[in-house]
Chain A
Amino acid sequence: MKTQQVHQGRLKTPFHSRLAAVDTVNEWHEWKGYSSADSLYCEDMEYFAIRNSTAVFDLTPMTKYRITGPDALAYLNRLVTRDMAKIRPGRVAYAVWCDDQGQVIDDGTIFHLREGEYRLCSQERHFAWLTASAIGFDVSITHETEDVAALAVQGPTSFSVLNKMGLDGLDQLKPFGLTHFDFEGTELMVSRTGFTADLGYELWIDPDKAEALWDALFAAGELYGIRAIGTHALEMARIEAGFLAAYMEFLPADETVRTGRSRSPLELGLDWLVDFKKPNFNGRRALADEKRNGSKWRLVKLDIEGNKPAHNSYIFANAKANKGEIGFITSAAWSPVCKQNIALGTVCTPHGKPGDSVWVEIYYQREMHWSRKMAKATVVDKPFWFPPRRGATPPGPC
């Protein structure tokens, strides 16, 4: 019988030595068994690295599965709601997968590495579900989180940094594209993906070369304002981008106990990811019903008046609060780059159409005493932050 050493305590990522070297605040949390930094020296400065120069985030703990075999495409097409046949080798797809009831289990990215060879990345672990979904398919699913070290390199100067590092031809890489380079005799995969809605890349390499990659990257980025960042700064950028996070905007369906606490892709504004032209995928029947009969919830992006972040607030249809709440805030932040008080929330339909006005009940504390404010908010359609350079190919020097 094959035995495998089980790790005791918390794992360190292959970049840990480099992160520890720049860390001054010693604020770490656990992310799927790994130590991940909340912040390394100053949350705000780290945030501005994302928006003004280049931020480097260690995303090694991100769950990664390798999916291969003759049925890999058919398997993925049954697993996720979008049509994976359209994702050619060298392309990356944002995707969401559901249970039979059409409720979201998680979202993530699927990398079509080479013909018939895929990597699925997500925040949560899903081996049991992926394995159960493999019944009847000729595929193999390998958990490879520990086998791949990964960095997000995000921000307006990120292309210049990587270009300086010698990644020739990167300028031709389109958003959601991936390509391979040689890095000191090891294959380095670079994808133009990220969690910040800005120009940015993700680097994937063998853990043995992790530190060398980090060093090369930071050497190249010295004059481009490169900085390592923690999750707090990334979280602000994530909200500005309007991206969803598990346990924030939705609860993984397999984790919910009470009915009505999970969400469907349609309720999360992901209609564009659901392809009913596919004859069968998990949740198709339930989602078709939902499409016909209407959804219960709607995810909203809110532009809120004032400057008090609406953490954990109830949302009301009108200013007279205390009754008739229509939903609640799931993520909130003051956006320095947009100069907006922004939030993501979930409201019941028919409320929350783009352009609608709603009211948010904000509680805030000043010198121990609590104050309450009803703030008007507008439902917006577009992400709060979406600079043209994000979609530009070539991205151009910055």
Chain B
Amino acid sequence: MGQLAAFIILSVVTLVAAVVVVASQNIVRSALSLIPTLLGIAGIYILLQAEYVAGIQVLIYAGAITVLILFVIMLTEHGTGARFRQVNEQVLPGTIAVAVLAALLMAVFFGTAWPRPAGALPQYSATAIGVTFLTNAILVFVVTSFVLLIALMGAIVIARRER
């Protein structure tokens, strides 16, 4: 019961902030309300016994990516962008498409009988995640590091001023 209450509170925080992200006319306000969205999702991870993922979520998403987005807004839009029209002409078709997709996905989720296998997650997951990364998922780990390096170099090359 306590878990359900925590889930409802976290979902309300996440979804309200996400609606502000999507609908706000002021782009700085939508970037800032990305932070409560991502922190609410970190709380959802803690509820799902994924403490390590929650910590990484706070560090990378709520810390780094939001700051990066705010920097780019300040460098490009010269302020809040409130004097520009922020939405295009696709609002009505977009709403219909998104509503249809949501109804379809909900129908699938409520209509499927998910299996309930026995077993439990380890009590503290960080050690097990490290072991998985260095044994079964070693290829994923190496390729991800390589992609990170390439993205770093690519971002520098793209954003550099041409001479």
A binds B: no
| Residues of chain B whose beta carbon lies under 8 Å from any beta carbon of chain A | none
> Which A residues contact B (CB, under 8 angstroms)?
none
